[in-house]
Amino acid sequence: MQSTLLKVKESRWTSRLLSPIILVLLILVFAIATGGRFSNPRNLKMILEQALVVGTVATGAVFIFATGNVNISMGATTALVTTIAAKAYMATESVPVMFLVALVAGVIIMGLTALLSTWLDVRVLYVTVVMMTLLSSIQMSILGSANIQLPYDMTSGMGDANVPLILFIVFFIIATVLFHFTALGRKLRYIGINDVCAELTGFKRSRYLLIAFLVAGVGVGFGALSTIVRNGTITTDTCSTLNMDCMLAIVLGGMSCFGGSRSNTYSAIVGAVMVTVLNNGLLMLGVSNTILQAVRGVVFIILVCASQTRPQGLPSRDG
Amino acid sequence: MPNKGEVVLEVKDMCKYFGVTVALDHVNFTLKSGEVRGLIGENGSGKSTVSSIAAGMQKASSGEMFYLGKPWAPSTALEAQKEGICMIVQEAGTIPSIPVADNIFLGHEDLFSFGPFVNHPKMVAAAQALLDELGIGIDASVVTGRLDLQQCKLIEIAKAMYWKPKILVVDETTTALSQTGRELLYKLMRRLADEGGSVMFISHDLDEMMTQCDAVTVLRDGHIIGSLNKDEFDGDVMKKMMVGREVKGDYYRSDMDPYGEEVVLKADCITTRRDLLCFDLELHKGEILGIGGLSECGMHTVGKALFGYEKILDGRVTVGPQHTVVKDVETAIKNGMAYTSKDRDHESVGLPGSIRDNIASTGYIKNLLVGPIISFKKEKAYVEKEITDLSLKCASQYHSVNTLSGGNKQKVVFGKWIGGDADILILDCPTRGIDIGVKASMYQLIYKMKKEGRSIVLISEELPELIGMSDRILIMKDGQVTHEAMRADHPTEHDLIEYMI
Amino acid sequence: MKKRMLTSAVAMLTAASMLAACGATGSESAAETESDTSSAATEEATGEEAAATGEFEPMTIAYATNATDEVFATMKDAFDNVIGPALNIEFTYSEPLSDTGALTTFIENSYAAGADAVITNLSSSIDQAAGVCEDLGLYFVGISSSDAVENADLPHYLSVAGASAEGYGESYASVIKDVIGDDGEEHGILILSGAAAYGATSFIEGTAGSLRALEEVYGLTYTEDIDTLATTATQIDAENDKGIKITIFPGMADLATNVSPLLQTGEYDVVVGTTNIYDSLGVAVNEVEEALDMDIKFITRATFNDAISAAFNGTDSQGSPVIDGMVCNGTYENVSAVIMLRNAFDGNVDNMRDSDGTCSRVPGMIPLAISSVEDYNTLSSADIPYSFVTTEDILSLCGADVTWQDIDEFGASLTTENIVAKFSA
Amino acid sequence: MKQQNKAVKLLKSVVATVALPLAVWAIMEVIAVVFTGSHVISSNLDVRNLIRSAGISAAIAFALSMNITSGRMDLSLGSQRVAATILGGVVAEALGLGGVWVLIFALVFGTVLGAVVGVLYVTLRIPPMVLGIGMACIYECFGFAATDGVGLRLVGTEGVDLLSNMNFTIVVVLIILVAMLILMTYTKFSYKFRAVRGSQQIARNSGINIFVNVALCYLVAGLVVSASGVLDAAFAGSMAASMGLTSNGSVMQNMFPMMIGCNFLSKYVNQSVGIVSAAVAVRIMTMGLNCFNMSEAMSNSINMFLFIAYLVWQSNAWKLDRMRADKKRIAEAKAFKAARAAA
């Protein structure tokens, strides 16, 4: 009995599948508790749609987190890219242009953030703390006195065509292929496992960190497009909670925030969906909106505790 | 203080195992008050282990100790310190960001406190008085980080001396000290002994040992080989006792195979930030080049510099027939070089990663399916092959390296580089902390690699290993090569140790 | 292993206790409201409205709010305890939402939790929210001071309620005229445009209205366009041919720290806020008055509460009222939204929508302009119902023959004069 | 001789303390006068305002420095500030106590909230940033639920006039600063704190209970940050209950003075004094920027650009030293080579 348990615990699948399994269990519990209302396909689709923006951006962020670095400015970056892309659309009224601008802007901004760190040797965490404020200030300046109201026809048309879902799937496939099926992901993970050793294996930290940020930039671009479709109106408050939601999703999805071997692209979407499932399910059960966030926090802490071994000393690396 | 000549510490039948490695093998040892006792032996002979157990830094696997006639089993260094056994270790023991006085009284702020407050001037004054009394010319109020290594070491000595220890353990501290610092330390040791305390003094410098110690105990492979009193001191005798490690079975290579003429790796008058000044080296095809010396002689820097990991300020390292300049790790690897660090856990292997993560890290290009897509099947087979070839003991390739023994960890490192088809291997202490059995297979492996035409730089702190494996041995001291020996000349440990110390 | 178990146990325990603590606060208040509701409901049931309550099918309205300030708290109280029981409606409320994405999520989750209709006052996201509600089949009313941009072809999109932007402008103009218009002196005027720089319509109109009022009072002409001035992102002087010092200061964050230096120049003796600046600037203004020994006229947007009452009735260090004038947010929009949703849910959708097949626009009541203590005290007295609308009024507006025009007209009748007349009787 | 040394030392540290704020003031003043004709500091009230806002900013910087300097990024600090302030206000109001009691209760709550995070950290030992996010989720809820989301309003509330009295604020700010100065310089706690920051391992070997010390760090951070919350709320009139993990923004803004104080000025003066001095300097800079009439976004951007510039400088300054050392070493190598060639 004990040995079986140990085997289960030791198995590489346990840590990998813990979060997805908990997600499935949550869904089952809610489905039963609400007498099936929760699990009707329409509701489930809605839950998935709610998680798409966070899922897309966080999937990109997985590349950064895998290297053991934390970027807490994902939301601010997305907000700025969203604004730029929306402006581009208003100027040209062309959806392809908007797509292009979003991707290019995402890649450029993330690239610059990475360069500050790799080129000028400032710690990633500090760079992103500054970026969080800087980028949102820039967004505010660009936005000026007017909210950007995108034409309803365009956004709803794209929404009906499931563009956010398609964007997510496309990016998820790209990301998964890159991360799990090419050397890139393995190298990033190896940097997260032990950066000195990775350097001595020929994986230059500065180069791969830059690549990770660029890929995350593509994710930000896609996420920005989804935001445009879902929100329709771009204000200074757009994506204001995304900074933290991203981290929340990734860690809830079963990844260590210090990266390493437990990094998976699906963590992001699993975590993001878990948050929306909790929100939706608890609301259905009549839990007040106010407590939802606390429940999220508690679940978050418990999951993190359950999935890590308690170290002897105090953890502190990179904050 | 106990009376002079009284036995203060007695170690009985002590054993210490690190995994399968035997560090101490039924050691018996007594220390009398009023004596400065030297402990000598090669790297890894067990001298630091026995003293650190007495000072509460680690626990023995079996055996017992008596201190001042009572059973002695300190659980922490702090407990030992309170009871009067202090140890000064090789590694830094001061915190750079706080003043000298704070370091001296670290953890003992109560001595100067009134209520929750600390009287800092009083603390500084006490520290200054202590330093002055010991003749250490350091201002107690400056921040420790501004001092150099030697001064930091002296502060640690002062910190230990404040408690008027009955036993002071000085573990290879003198290497960090200049002549003046050393003399100061000698004086303090002597004073302590005169006052009825005792000193356990560990050093590689035999001259130092002979002038400073009242008696010397020689250890080898975790055994006490013998003790010499001051009147019996003789450098040659001591060296003879230190060397001549027991070799169980024939696990080094026994052949006299030659090596090629072609120079595959060349260091041309390289200078690094520390240690190396105009260092030259040539490695030939199929050669095992041994580099030996004491830990701080600069040989570990040589390994890093050759691999492009240590910044080379002047001169250059070239590799291969085209004499490509190795400017960074990437070029080195591209040109078929590999490096295993002495600090394996931090630099050569990703501990939290799986065996597969580690071994496959050099083989991504070989395991492609189409384009840049990696074939999981190929990768699995690739890793599996290394695991079988090296007879790596593990449940599966998905196991975390954390869970493996030292020897198997090292095998993972080897597997990683051999799988990557490295032609030039720089192995820094490849058998460090590995049990005999695995060691033997490592040696076979190294020999096999030589036969395959690979060239190997073997950096080691163990002379028998160098003598047993190398085609050519360089002995280093203070960043310079002091001696070169060929395999054909059958050098002995005794010959070589002359040039190290 | 044991240690780990222990740790997990500690983690669980702490988590659980926290949740319990947090939950307690939440459920306590929930319980309170519940008991209030039930007691109120009993009263209603035993009282004259028993029949009326019985007529209504139960329905649930989800209210998505952009802030949970005092205005919201007052409204919530009225909804839960008076209007809800009267119309047999249950309300659920969002946390403060700022982003359209979050709004959409709230609507979707409310739908899942069984809501029938949605109200939101996130003015920037009304069209998106209407689209979402249409997809889900929820009746929808948006609360905004601006017109709906696109409202065709969404049969569940009933109306946009809320005082028109011009309404805010008028109210500001009237307060300003009352406060400074009659003394004929020259003033230095500081207008805090709040979120106007970020495009909030009511702020823009408030600022523009104030500027227009000053234009009238002093008979001046600005060298720049009023709308440009109103939406400025940096502090700007509204230069004019009469040389009156008028400065516009945008921004919401850190008002006290940022505005205090301006006031200290002593150049301003009138401060006009398009948001509730009493909460954020009251202390700073008082400090400046004391330091410079001058009287600063204070005009703010506010709602009725103890603090404002005290400020209106009290005097500052210079012996004049702390608040000289205020513009009170219209609250009728919330009531009208509920009434319209009730009617639509009862099957009278067409009456609630414009006859041309688009949603209706119910400007309702004009924001109240209050510049005298007497008016304030009458309007804020304790026995006045929420938004000056009694339960009978509400019930009279529910029915098959009521149209949105009726509801609108009722709102339009709620002027300061009428209200004073109605309730002082 | 020794006496004189002391005097010189004291003078030196005084100079180091005022140098940065003065320099910033001088630069801003020159720019302001030249380009706008106005002064950075023009009145008595300005000075008092400066003391107040710099004090509040320094208090937050102190709280940040308790953990960030030891490599622990506590993202729950902002939520502790909001929750403690609101809970303190609510409890004081419920008990019918006003004025200074709001502050006292807030301090109590801040201490408790901080201590809870600290105790959880040393027992669970999950990465501080992760724990911070989780706790922020929970604490934000506390603040929100306590007032049904309305937040705490102090302006116009009966009996709390004292809190918004500027003299009172300044006195409290000074008390906090002096208390922190004493706590972080002269107490046993501070000695242990610095040791743990320097090296967990060595501190532990010296018999310091690092777990207790770190938990205390969190406690102190919570205490100080709650004081800053009340004072801020008293001046700004109210404290909003924020949700969605946005509460940390106002705390993060004070990273800049904290970094300057702890990493740069601490080389010359006591770290606590350094933080205060840096807070004043940054505040003066903001006041100077205000003279230019620029938008919030613009001045934020400038602030952040300066912050980045500082970070870049901080992480690259040592390279100059290394370059110098390298040059010397190369010369040494060349000389050695020449000597060898000659031999």
Chains adjacent to A (≥3 CB pairs closer than 8 angstroms) = B, C, D
Instruction: Collect all residues of chain D within an 8 Å Cβ-Cβ radius of residue B313.
Output: 326, 329-330, 333
**B21-32 and B7-18 strand pairing:** antiparallel
Q: Give the fold, CATH level 3, of C166-328.
A: Rossmann fold (3.40.50)
Are D174 and D55 within 8 A, CB to CB?
A: yes
Across residues A32-43, what is the average pLDDT?
Answer: 86
User: Is the pLDDT higher at C226 or at C24?
Assistant: C226
Across residues D172-192, what is the average pLDDT?
Answer: 89
Residue C95 neighbours by CB under 8 Å, 6+ apart: A289, A290, A292, A293, C68, D144, D149, D243, D244
Considering all CA atoms of chain B, what is the largest pairwise distance in Å, rounded to the nearest integer? 80
Instruction: Collect all residues of chain C within an 8 Å Cβ-Cβ radius of residue D125.
Output: 7
3-state secondary structure at position B73: coil
Is D149 at the interface with chain B, CB within 8 A? no
Is C31 at the interface with chain A, CB within 8 A? no
The rounded distance, in Å, linking the Cα atoms of B332 and B330 is 5
Across residues D70-95, what is the average pLDDT?
Answer: 90
pLDDT above 90: percentage of residues in chain A: 44
**Which of A147, A232, A295 is nearest residue C19 as measured by Cβ atoms?**
A295
Is B346 at the interface with chain A, CB within 8 A? yes
The rounded distance, in Å, linking the Cα atoms of A284 and C115 is 10
Strand partners, B460: B292
pLDDT at C7 over 60: no
pLDDT above 90: percentage of residues in chain B: 15
What is the token pair recorded at C20? 């319990």
pLDDT-derived band at C213 (thresholds 50, 70, 90) equals confident
Residue type, A285: L
pLDDT above 90: percentage of residues in chain C: 5
- A298–D144 C-beta distance less than 8 A: no
Instruction: Collect all residues of chain A within an 8 Å Cβ-Cβ radius of residue C124.
Output: 147, 149, 233, 235
- D141–A293 C-beta distance less than 8 A: yes
**Which of A10, A193, A202 is nearest residue B350 as measured by Cβ atoms?**
A193
The rounded distance, in Å, linking the Cα atoms of D98 and A140 is 39
- B120–D186 C-beta distance less than 8 A: yes
Task: List the 298-337 stretch of D: residues with Cβ below 8 A of B.
Answer: 322, 325-326, 329-330, 332-334, 336-337
Write the DSSP symbol of residue B2.
Answer: P
pLDDT at B88: 85
**D152-153 and D238-239 strand pairing:** antiparallel
pLDDT at A7: 63
Of the residues C93, C254, C271, C303, the best mutation for testing chain D's interface (the one with the most D CB atoms within 10 Å of its CB) is C254
Enclosing domain of residue A167: 37-306
Locus of tokens 């140990």: A6
- A122–D315 C-beta distance less than 8 A: yes
Q: Give the fold, CATH level 3, of C53-163+330-368+385-424.
A: Rossmann fold (3.40.50)
Residue D30 neighbours by CB under 8 Å, 6+ apart: none
Domains in chain D: ranges and CATH:
16-293 (1.10.3470)
Q: What is the pLDDT of residues C292-318, one digit of tens each?
A: 888 888 888 888 877 788 888 877 777
pLDDT at C37: 40
pLDDT at A318: 42
- Say how many domains are in chain A: 1
Write the DSSP symbol of residue B395.
Answer: S
Chains adjacent to B (≥3 CB pairs closer than 8 angstroms) = A, D
Q: Answer yes or no: is A25 within a domain.
A: no
3-state secondary structure at position A149: strand
How many beta carbons lie within 10 A of that of residue D294, not counting itself? 16
pLDDT-derived band at A109 (thresholds 50, 70, 90) equals very high
Task: List the 263-292 stretch of D: residues with Cβ below 8 A of A.
Answer: none
- A314–D137 C-beta distance less than 8 A: no
- B365–A183 C-beta distance less than 8 A: yes
pLDDT at C17: 54
Q: Quick one: closest CA in A to D259, which residue?
A: A126
Burial (CB < 10 A; 0-12, 13-18, 19+), residue C347, is exposed
Alpha carbon D247 to its chain centroid, in Å, reads 16
pLDDT-derived band at B246 (thresholds 50, 70, 90) equals low
Task: Name the strands in the sheet holding C360-362, side by side, starting at the edge strand that comes first in the sequence.
Answer: C89-93, C59-64, C117-120, C139-143, C157-161, C360-362
Average pLDDT of chain D is 87
Is C236 at the interface with chain D, CB within 8 A? yes
Instruction: Collect all residues of chain A within an 8 Å Cβ-Cβ radius of residue B311.
Output: none
pLDDT at C184: 66
- A298–D136 C-beta distance less than 8 A: no
Q: What are phi and psi of C143, to 5 degrees?
A: -115, 120
DSSP string computed for D118-130: HHHHHHH---HHH
Across residues D170-181, what is the average pLDDT?
Answer: 89
Average pLDDT of chain B is 85
Q: What is the pLDDT of residues C75-99, one digit of tens each?
A: 888 899 888 998 999 998 888 887 8
Residue type, C236: I
Are B449 and B425 within 8 A, CB to CB?
A: yes
Q: What are phi and psi of B462, to 5 degrees?
A: -105, 115
**Which of A49, A233, A309 is nearest residue C100 as measured by Cβ atoms?**
A233
Q: Answer yes or no: is A128 within a domain.
A: yes
- A43–C113 C-beta distance less than 8 A: no
Are C321 and C315 within 8 A, CB to CB?
A: yes
**Which of C11, C101, C198 is nearest residue A231 as measured by Cβ atoms?**
C101
Residues of A with CB under 8 A from a CB of B: 10, 12, 177, 181-183, 186-187, 189-190, 193-194, 196-204, 260-261
User: Is the pLDDT higher at D128 or at B149?
Assistant: D128
Q: Quick one: closest CA in A to B398, which residue?
A: A12
Burial (CB < 10 A; 0-12, 13-18, 19+), residue D309, is exposed
The rounded distance, in Å, linking the Cα atoms of B50 and B56 is 10
Write the DSSP symbol of residue D67.
Answer: H
**Which of A126, A132, A301 is nearest residue D134 as measured by Cβ atoms?**
A301
Across residues D22-46, what is the average pLDDT?
Answer: 85
Counting one residue from chain A and one from chain B, the pairs whose CB atoms sit within 8 A come to: 79
**Which of B350, B374, B395 is nearest residue A197 as measured by Cβ atoms?**
B350
Of the residues D74, D129, D286, D296, the best mutation for testing chain A's interface (the one with the most A CB atoms within 10 Å of its CB) is D129
Q: What is the pLDDT of residues B39-73, one digit of tens each?
A: 887 766 788 888 888 888 888 888 888 888 888 88
Across residues C135-151, what is the average pLDDT?
Answer: 78
pLDDT at C36: 41
What is the token pair recorded at C300? 């703010």
- B353–A199 C-beta distance less than 8 A: no
Are D136 and D73 within 8 A, CB to CB?
A: no
pLDDT-derived band at D86 (thresholds 50, 70, 90) equals very high
What's the Rg (C-alpha) of chain D? 23
Shortest alpha-carbon distance between residue A189 and chain B (Å): 9
Domains in chain B: ranges and CATH:
7-242 (3.40.50.300), 250-336+423-501 (3.40.50.300), 351-422 (no CATH)
Is A144 at the interface with chain D, CB within 8 A? no
Chains adjacent to C (≥3 CB pairs closer than 8 angstroms) = A, D
Q: What is the pLDDT of residues B292-313, one digit of tens each?
A: 988 778 889 999 999 999 899 9
Q: What is the pLDDT of residues A143-161, one digit of tens each?
A: 876 678 888 888 888 888 8
Across residues B101-130, what is the average pLDDT?
Answer: 88
Shortest alpha-carbon distance between residue C20 and chain D (Å): 11
Residue C418 neighbours by CB under 8 Å, 6+ apart: none
Q: What are phi and psi of B481, to 5 degrees?
A: -80, 125
**Which of B93, B98, B313 is nearest residue D329 as measured by Cβ atoms?**
B313
pLDDT at C14 over 80: no
Locus of tokens 């302001």: D32
pLDDT at C111 over 80: yes
How many beta carbons lie within 10 A of that of residue C57, not counting itself? 11
Shortest alpha-carbon distance between residue B331 and chain A (Å): 8
Task: List the 350-389 stretch of B: residues with Cβ below 8 A of A.
Answer: 350-354, 357, 360-362, 364-365, 372-374
3-state secondary structure at position A102: helix
Instruction: Collect all residues of chain A within an 8 Å Cβ-Cβ radius of residue D301.
Output: 134, 137-138, 141
User: Is the pLDDT higher at B21 or at D258?
Assistant: D258
pLDDT at D1 over 70: no
The interface predicted TM-score (ipTM) is 0.84
The rounded distance, in Å, linking the Cα atoms of D298 and D303 is 9
Locus of tokens 């950075």: D40
Across residues B275-282, what is the average pLDDT?
Answer: 89
Instruction: Collect all residues of chain A within an 8 Å Cβ-Cβ radius of residue C18.
Output: 294, 298
3-state secondary structure at position C292: helix
Is A116 at the interface with chain D, CB within 8 A? yes
Residue type, D180: M
Chains adjacent to D (≥3 CB pairs closer than 8 angstroms) = A, B, C
- A202–B330 C-beta distance less than 8 A: yes
Residues of B with CB under 8 A from a CB of D: 76-78, 93-98, 102, 106-107, 109-110, 113, 116-118, 120, 269, 271, 273, 277-278, 311, 313-315
Pick the range with the lowest mean pLDDT from A222-226, B84-88, D86-90. Answer: B84-88
Kindly report the CATH number assigned to the domain that includes residue A237: 1.10.3470.10
Q: What is the pLDDT of residues C351-372, one digit of tens each?
A: 888 877 788 888 877 888 888 8
- The angle formed by the CA atoms of residues D323, D327 and D330, to the nearest 5 degrees, is 135
The rounded distance, in Å, linking the Cα atoms of D17 and D13 is 6
Q: Answer yes or no: is A282 within a domain.
A: yes
Is C2 at the interface with chain A, CB within 8 A? no
Q: Answer yes or no: is A89 within a domain.
A: yes
User: Is the pLDDT higher at B176 or at B365?
Assistant: B365
Nearest Cα to B281, choosing from B496, B432, B414, B459?
B459
Per-domain boundaries in chain C = 53-163+330-368+385-424, 166-328
Q: What is the pLDDT of residues B473-492, one digit of tens each?
A: 999 988 889 999 998 888 88
Across residues B251-255, what is the average pLDDT?
Answer: 80
